[in-house]
Amino acid sequence: MSLFASRMTMRAEVRRNTAAADGHGNAGKPDWQLVQDAVPCYVWSKIRQRVVDGRLNAEVEEIGVVFRAGADVLAFDRIEQIKDRRGRVLFAGPFDVLTGTEKSDGRGIDHLAFKLRRIA
């Protein structure tokens, strides 16, 4: 059993953009279709800080997520929300799924790790 398997106590609603390019190769209006509505995962907030300068006043948060190996989640997907097993929303989204990596516990690939960006 993976180190993370017992920690996959959250569920992600994963969507993928299925919009086709127009006749000129330009991206069409995004069409986010449901891929899976309860993908087991574990999410945490690494950094949360307020950035204030002359023109900018924003809150920046770095969020990490892990899924079991083989989960149908890709970079550039969107996560609408993260819930617990009982369906309570823990992290309201949407979130863009950024870069991801396959991770190993020494015996083979056992989970996928991604960074998330909250969409405001």
Domain extents in the chain: 5-18+28-118
Q: Tens digit of pLDDT for each residue in 25-57?
A: 777 788 899 999 899 999 998 777 777 777 777
What is the pLDDT at residue 55?
76
SS3 5: helix
Q: What is the pLDDT of residue 3?
A: 56
| pTM for the full predicted model | 0.76
Percent of the chain's residues with pLDDT above 90: 28
CATH number of 5-18+28-118: 2.40.10
Positive or negative, the CA dihedral 84, 89, 91, 94 is positive
For the chain, give me the number of helices (H) and strands (E)?
0, 6
Higher-pLDDT residue of 82, 55:
82
What pLDDT, on a 0 to 100 scale, did the predictor assign at position 101? 74
